[in-house]
Amino acid sequence: MNILIIHGPNLHLLGRRKPEIYGTATLARLNSEIKKHAAGLGAKLRVFQSNSEGGIIDLLTANASWADALVINPAAYTHYSYAIRDAIEALELPAVEVHLSEIAKREPFRRISVIKPVCRAQFKGEGPLSYFKALEFCASLEKK
């Protein structure tokens, strides 16, 4: 199974961005753990990070025919990007939304996800484990 991973804006700052919320691991470290986990599941990955809404939509479009599933942490776009929501819906990619932090227990604006309705599942609040669970969910889709 081919899984497309997209990290949204500011996730390139992991490691120095609010470690009390996002942990101390860098994005490179997170990606290497994600890759190890995916290898254990027999999945192939393409992993990207983008700080722009259009950049994320272009990545989705360019990789949609390769990918069997999408794991996306839309970061702040989670809360207001109807454009990313529409792209996921239009491309008909089975998508899973992930967050390192527990967005339901933070500022009120983070409690809304406009992306969730176009995703098969949402994993949040468990740091890197949120991504691992999303990969496992994708792998389980293949078996159905």
Q: Which candidate in 7, 22, 37, 131 is catalytic?
A: 22
| C-beta of 66 vs 112, nearer to ligand DQA | 112
CB of 103 to ligand DQA, least distance (A): 5
- Is residue 134 a contact point for ligand DQA (CB under 6 A)? no
Task: 85-93: list long-range contacts, CB under 8 Å, 24+ apart.
Answer: 85/114, 85/115, 85/117, 85/118, 87/56, 87/57, 87/60, 87/61, 88/60, 88/115, 88/118, 88/119, 89/118, 91/60, 91/61, 91/64, 93/4, 93/60, 93/64, 93/67, 93/69
Q: Which of 7, 37, 77, 99 is catalytic?
A: 99
Report residue 71: phi and psi, to 5°: -115, 120
Active site (annotated) includes residue 12: no
Give the interface segment with ligand DQA, choosing from 39-47, 94-102, 114-122, 132-140 (CB under 6 A): 94-102
Confirm whether 131 is a catalytic residue.
no
Q: Report the interface residues with ligand DQA, using CB under 6 A.
A: 10, 73, 75-76, 78, 99-101, 103, 110
**Catalytic machinery residues:** 22, 99
